[in-house]
Structures are given as C-alpha cells and as structure tokens.
Structure 1
C-alpha cells in the first residue's frame, strides 16, 4: 500500500460528493467534518482507513506514557497530600492554636467537603470550555495558595473560609484529569492510566506522615503545622507551573511526536477513542446526558461504591484499632493494607483494559469489600489474624471501583461535552460516601464497629446486584443489535465516529 493510501481519509468519498478537497493537515476541520457524518449501517464501517501497525501503536503509547503519566501522577500526589495534611496539622496542635470549638475539626472537614459536591459540575464545565491546559495548573495554583494562606490564619473562622475555597479548587481537579486522559488514550487503555494517578491515594498518607515528621522536628518561631502548610502549598504552586509547561495538551501540538506519530494518534482517536476532540463547547449537549436513564444507573452505582472507598480512606485506623494495639502500632499496621490496595487497583485496571471489560471487574472489587466486612462482623475482635486478613480484603477492593467506574462510563460516550458532564455529575455521587461513612462509624459502636460494617456490607451487596444487572443488560443489548444486523461485533468493531449518537445509533455497541 502506498503512503498516500495509508493516510486515506475515511471521509474522502463524502467530501467528493460535496466538491470539497480533503485537508488531513488540519485536524480541527477534520473533526468538525467528522461531526457532520452519521454512520448507521454495517457497510459504512471501513477500518482500512485507520491504517497503522501494532509497532507504531505500541511506540506511540510508550511515548505518551513517558510524557504524561509522571506529571499526572505527581499532580494528583500533591492533591492527595493537601487533602491529608489536616490530620497531621491536628496532631501538631492546630486546633488548639486556632481555638477551635468543640467538634470544630469535624465541622472544618464537612466545610471542606461541601464544594466537592456543589462545585464539581461548574469546575469541569470550565475545563471543557477553556481546556485542561488552563484549569489543571490553574486549580493547583488555587488550592496551593489556599494551603499557604491557611498557614497564616488566626482563628477558626479563617480556617473555614480557606478550606472552603480550597475545596472549590480541588473539586473539579480529578475529574478534569480523567477527561484530559481521554484525549490521548483509547478506551482499552484508559483504566490503567487512571489507575496510575489514583494509586497516589495509598501513598499520600505515607508521604504526608514522613514530611510532617521531618517538619515537626524543626526549631522555628512559627508552629510546625504552619511550616507544613507553607512547604506543601509552595511545592504545589511550583509544580503547577512545571506541569503547565511540560504536559502536552493535544497529540497534534505535542513536540515529542513526529508527523507520522501525530497521524497515528489522529487515527487512533477515530478508531477507538472515548471521543472526538477539538469540538467547540455546546451548553445544550453538555447537559444532554440528563435525559438518558443510564446516567442515573451510573449515579446509583457511584453512590453505592463510594461508601466503601470512604471507609477505607477515613476509618481504616479505627477498624485496625479494634485489635487493641498501641497508637503507633495501629498506624503502622495500616500501611501494608494500603499498599495491597494500590497493587490490587493497578492489577484490576490492567486486567480490565486487557479484556476490554469493566462491569465484572467492578463487581470483583465490590465483592472483596463485601466479604471483608462480613468477616469482621462475624469474627470476634480477639481473632487478630482473621480480622487483619479481612482488612486487606476491604482495602484491596475499596480503592479499585473509582478507576474502573470512571473508565466505564467514559468509554460509553463519544460526545466531548457528554463525557465532561458525566465525569463531573457522577463524581458528585462518588464523593457522597464520605457523608454516609461519617454518620455510621460512631464512637458508640467502637471498637468492633459491627453495625457500621454490616451497613457497608449491605451497601456493597446492593452495588454488586445493580452493577451485575446493568452489565448483563449491556451484553444483552449488544447481542440484540448483532442479531438484527447479522454480525458478531463488540465495542472494538465500531469506530468512534459511529458512537457519537450513543445507543440511538444502530451500530452502537456498549463497552462492557
């Protein structure tokens, strides 16, 4: 095949009919013209147009990983550090120094969490409208500045204001990172890449503790917690500038790619991406998923899995505390389960990408949490070995759902606006688990916490049923479409341009 044939435009015949010349060097025009085409018939699908080799694809992905993942990982690590430093600051006397009232620490945490529910959609909409190029570093600079300002506040009220504003800047950050990654990776590559930066959750606690330990030994005129805030905030702002300069914001503007690699990147998007790019923001299409009943099934799933994730993140120390060890030993015994959870998350994400399957991988994670909670409910607190094994199961399953879930719904929407709205809308439900766990893990049920653990088990059991039913529905609908069209297609057999209209298009196939 000649070089010209290898770069044959899949829309060339349509352009000839319109007496237009194809312009493959102009990516934005290419994508806008793609928007106008509707492929609805089996015979319309022509994969010969997406001509690149396995070696070219592999080489491109390696380059993207090297130039994107380290920066994204570090960005999210700073995000996790700035969320976790409150407990370190409290241990150094912040609540006493600022004259917090009774239950003031809990009030501050709640105030910090409110924007995570209220501001996700507006902040992600801003990312969609002006681009992650500005919002990823912008949000980092915003919350880094708030952390530094928090070091200078003089009272409880000042802390509440800074923590609320910090939450506003952080609210849309993780969803924006997910949305950003969909512009570079295919649907079968997304979960593993999302898993890479989510792994920071497990490591941030260890990093935060080490930094705090070093800072609190310093001899200074200001408090140790103030130094901690100043250092972490300053590093966040500095790295935001570095990320803004170093991250590629599109494959076509990436300086580390040659012209052929940019062409392969373009063809990958047309063949098997989560969606087309460079399409102008449209408020109507941004909110259009609200009319789709599937959005609310995903929202229910998000609300169900988030409770377990919150329990592992916020109450693991209390659960391990049922064994009666010292404070130092209890904290030490939380490290291994967190590391195991990170390993399980990356392993599950890798498997999910390899098999191009999300639903049952999500069920497997929920099942680990369910079994772990049941074991703790049924096991006497004196049985440390079995109880500690159950803790591993809980952390092994609790950190995985976010990665698989967001990769799942993003892989089933080829609309740029729709994907941005969904990741924002569904993140609000995924953040709701913190409110549930905070109201069930009460001191009156310590140290066994059997009632809270039974509630978490019931919530996860419900999640298993809902996810399984939804996954089976998707498989049934794919089979129904195959039967009607006389083919045996999966999501891999349908190009991105045929997925834009969603399930309304007869060629649509769910990414299971």
Structure 2
C-alpha cells in the first residue's frame, strides 16, 4: 500500500491513474457513488462542524422513529423463537405424534430456511427499499406462524418452519444495515443494544403470553392459540413497518431536507457510506477473500450453538427442576429481564470506556455464561434454586453478541461488501442454531449433559476468536497509521465514494 502525494492519500495499494482520475483496486469500470451524494449539489460546499444542539435534536428525532419499530419487531423475533418451546409444554409433541429427534428437527428446520435464503435476501436488501422489504417479510413471517396452528403432522409443520425461517432471514441483516445508515460507529453499540435488549423482553413477554394462553379453555389445543395469537401480532407489526419505517436517511419523509443532509453529514468521518443500490461484483469477491469476514462467520456459529439449544430447550431445562408447566412459563420472565439488563449494562459501560475496548467487553460478558454452564453441569439436581440461578447466568451471551454485531457493521465498508458480510455472519448464525438443538439428547433430559458441554466449549472458542480478531484489526490500524505518518488525511475525498474498508486507507477499524 502506498500513499499518494496529496489528495491520493485516500486510497490503498492497487489504485492506478487513469484519465486523470482514480480507479481503486480492480477493473470495475466507472464507480457509482454512495446515495448520500445526491443530497450535496456541490461537492465543494462547506461542511464544517454542525450545531451540537441541532445534532442532538436530530438524533432524538431519529431515535423516536427508528428504535421503537425495530425493538418491537425484535421482541416478536424472540417470542417466535420460543413459540415452539412453549408449544412443547402445551402438548404439541403428543398431538402431532412427534417421535425421536423430530422435535429437534423442527427447531433446526427453521434455520435451514434461514440458511438457504440468507444470501439472496441480503442481495435483495441492497436493491429494494429496505423498510418496505423488511415490513413485507415480517408480515409473511407472522402469516406462516399462524398457519402452523393448522398442522396435523410433522411434515406439514416442518414445511412451514422452513418457510418461516426464510421470511425471517432478512430481519437481523436489515436491522444492522438500518443501524449503520442512521448512526455513527460510536453510537451503534448502544442502539444495537437497545433493539437487541428487546429479545429479553421477548422472552419475558413470551412467558407472560404462554402463561395467559395456557389458561385459555377454548375449542383448540393451547399450543394452537400460541401460534395464532403470536403470528397475528407479528403480521400486524409487519404492516406497521411497511408503512412507517423509512428506507434510508436520503429519502426519509419524516425529516426536512436540511435534516436529511445533517443525518448524512454526521456519518462522514466513519468512512462507511450510507447506501448504494448498485451491486458491485468486485466487492462480493473482496468479502469472500477477507479473513475478518470468516472470523465473523465463526463467531456467529459459536455464539449460536448455545442459543439454538437454550431457546428451544430452556423451558424443558427449567421444567426439569421440578416446577409445574405454568410455573415454568413464569420463570422465563426473570431470565428475559436479566438478558435485557445485561445487554443494556454492556453497551452503556462500553460507551463510557476508552475507544477500542469492545473485544474485551465481549470476553467479560461471556464469563458469566461459562460459569452458569459449569454450574448446570456440577450443581446437584436437588438444589433446584441454585440450578435455576445457574440457568439464568447463561443469558449474558446475548450482550456479547450485540457487541459482535457492532464490530461487524463498524468494520466493513462498501455497501455490497456490507450486505455480503452480513449474510456470511448470519450463515454462521444459522449453522449454530441448526446444530445447537442436536446436542440436547432426549434421553439426557432434564440435565442435557452433552448440550451444556457444547455451550462451555463454544464460549471458550468464542473467547479465542474474538481476541484473534482484536489483534488483526489493531495491527492493521497501526500499519495504516505508519503509512500515513506525517500526511494529513483527506476524509472528505473518500467518505461517500462507496469504497470498501480495504480500498480506503483513511478507514480505521474499531476493536
């Protein structure tokens, strides 16, 4: 990599002069700029520091529009994850004559649908309006969930689980794209933490809904009401998001033109751009050749093997402590609240630490999970309260995953590369969630020794991988600092050119 003499300090090795302009790292032809450039009629117009009061008011306005919609959706997102678990409590296994590993397969088939559709749906997210596409998929996700109440056997339920997974495949990647479009890299962990904390509320809300649904004395089995009620609520929220969720800061109708320009301007220093609707094959290739993208895939996998098990077998683990069925549903409420508080504590503490401590915070919030899993392995079964506390300690891995998501969206630039990298991370997420339930052998219930062992192993591997990632990102920053030593960085030249993090020497990684 070699810095140029003046403004060319913006670009990395591989850039070559052509016709008085620059091309960056590949023979891709004319480069299409980020959509944000449409807001700036004159590239030379001044863009100095904005009024802090105006910026605070703008951020609050964005928060009120974006965060509640994503948070409520994410709450349903996790309620949906546990719906099958509550259905198991209410007799779905007997009613549908599920035998052997069929229940485990129902847990995993959801993620097969997710896995198959993960890359196509991410590419569609680039070409289609993000808010509209997300809203449509959330509606379909609720629609398929409602239809699961009509299932008569394993085969019909299996098909609908696959379709539900495909419909949900765009949710997390879309939330990450939306967060990266609206918030600076410094603000992203707290915003991700706020909407991700809603999954704890989803666990708690799922417990309350499960308790209430368990008391319905209607013509249908209780598990059918579970699917119908939660599916209808999800579908309704999909309609709300389709209508009200803006597609990007560039076209947001709830902002004035000045506010749209400010919303874009405040992201200039991040060098990650806003949005670009042009699919760029070289950025796809770069994503598949980037080591850190595979590390994020691996983190997605080892983070979610435990998630795949706990989200589907958590209620059965608690029931194994000899609590009644309805008491088991209520005991999920403090677990969900503890997860939400862990996430919020993690992101707010991280916000107050010096820069580049996110990887260490990930490690700090994995430790309680390891301790809780060891407790479930070692504490005798007769000490059911202590075992329940150990089960609750397995929740803070969600906080660690929040910071991993913030590391992903903060360390990948170039819009096509971002959507592909998001898809790869969630491929790992799917593989982990597919594999997780199969470590929980029916004949090992309620202690599930193999399942708890898999949780310990995966969290230990996660610690190693996150520290390796930190070392690589830190080393690359030092290398770039050395290359630009004594040279003023021209951030304006590269902020909205839809450059990848590899192309743009002005880009600095966060860790």
TM-score by length of 1: 0.82
**Which of 255, 260, 263 is matched with 1:262 structurally?**
260
Residue 371 of structure 1 is matched in structure 2 by: 371
**How many Å apart are 1:326 and its aligned residue?**
4.8
- Which residue in 2 is equivalent to 1:121? 119
Counterpart secondary structure, 2:259: helix
CA distance in 2, matches of 1:153, 1:378: 40
Matches within 5 A, 1:222-233: 222-233=220-231
Deviation at 1:446, TM superposition (A): 4.7
Note if contact 2:58-2:259 (Cα within 8 Å) is conserved in structure 1: yes
**Aligned counterpart, 1:21:** none
CA distance in 1, matches of 2:317, 2:215: 29
Unaligned runs of 5+ in 2: 1-9, 11-19, 22-32
Alignment match of 2:37 (pick from 25, 30, 34): 30
What is the SS of the residue equivalent to 2:393? Answer: helix
The answer to whether the Cα contact below 8 Å between 2:84 and 2:312 also exists between their aligned partners in 1 is no
Partner of residue 25, structure 2: none
8 Å CA contact 1:270, 1:496 repeated in 2? yes
Deviations 1:383-403 (A, max 9, x none): 55654544343212x212321
**CA contact under 8 A between 1:287 and 1:421: conserved in structure 2?**
no
Which residue is 2:508 aligned to?
A: 509
What is the RMSD computed on CA atoms of the aligned residues?
A: 3.5
Secondary structure at 1:399 match in 2: helix
For 1:404, the equivalent position in structure 2 comes to 403
**Residue aligning to 1:241:** 239
Which residue of the other structure, out of 70, 74, 79, is the alignment partner of 1:81?
Answer: 79
- Deviation string, structure 1 residues 171-219 (Cα, Å, up to 9, x no partner): 2222122112211111111122222222232222332343344345445
Counterpart for residue 186 of structure 1? 184
Preserved contact between residue 301 and residue 431 of structure 2 (Cα < 8 Å): yes
- Preserved CA contact (<8 Å) 1:185 1:273: no
CA contact (8 A) 1:274 1:414 kept: yes
TM-score, normalised to structure 2, is 0.82
Task: Tell me, yes or no, if structure 1 residue 433 matches structure 2 residue 432.
Answer: yes
For 1:334-382, what per-residue CA distance to the aligned partner results, in whole angstroms no more than 9, with x for missing partners? 4323321211112212333454432222222222322333344454445
Counterpart check, 1:424 vs 2:438: no
Which structure has more RCO (C-alpha within 8 Å, separation ≥ 6)? Answer: 2
Which residue does 1:294 correspond to in 2? 292
Q: Please, which of 56, 61, 66 is the counterpart of residue 64 of structure 2?
A: 66
Deviates more, 1:187-196 or 1:476-485: 476-485
Q: CA deviation at 1:98?
A: 4.0
Change in CA separation of 1:326 and 1:142 when aligned onto 2, cut-off 3 Å: closer
The change in CA–CA distance for 1:141 and 1:321 in structure 2 (over 3 A counts) is: closer
Return the alpha-carbon distance in structure 2 between the equivalents of residues 231 and 62 of structure 1. Answer: 33
| 8 Å CA contact retained: 1:148, 1:233 | yes
Q: Which residue of 2 aligns with 1:158?
A: 156
Q: Mark the CA change 1:150 to 1:329 in structure 2 (over 3 Å): closer, same or farther.
A: closer
Residue of structure 1 equivalent to 2:4: none
- Match in the other structure for 1:7: none
DSSP-derived class of the 2:361 partner? helix
Change (3 A) 1:313 1:493: farther
Q: CA deviation at 1:418?
A: 0.9
Q: Secondary structure at the match of 1:432?
A: helix
Relative distance call for 1:353 and 1:403 in structure 2 (3 A) is same
2:395 matched to which residue of 1? Answer: 395
Provide the residue aligned with 1:145 in structure 2. 143
Q: Cα offset for 1:63?
A: 0.6
SS in 2 for 1:503: coil
Report Cα offsets for 1:118-149 as digits up to 9, x if no partner: 22111121111213133111101212221232
The residue number in structure 1 matching 2:412 is: 413
Give, in angstroms, the shift of residue 475 of structure 1: 1.7
Counterparts of residues 193-204 of structure 1 (less than 5 Å): 193-204=191-202
State the distance in 1 between where 2:203 and 2:177 align: 26
Distance change (3 Å), C-alpha of 1:499 and 1:147: closer
Determine the structure 2 residue equivalent to 1:43.
none
Match of 1:3 in 2: none
Q: How far, CA to CA, are the matches of 2:478 and 2:73 in structure 1?
A: 41
Residue 493 of structure 1, CA deviation: 12
Contact 1:190 1:353 in 2 (8 A): no
Match of 1:359 in 2: 359
- Evaluate the alpha carbon distance shift between residue 148 and residue 438 of structure 1 in structure 2; reply closer, same or farther with a 3 A threshold: closer
In 2: Cα distance, 1:410 partner to 1:442 partner: 36
Report the CA distance between 1:62 and its aligned residue.
0.7
Q: Are 1:150 and 1:162, in contact at CA under 8 Å, matched by a contact in 2?
A: yes
8 Å Cα contact 1:121-1:172 kept in structure 2: no
SS of the residue corresponding to residue 205 of structure 2 reads: helix
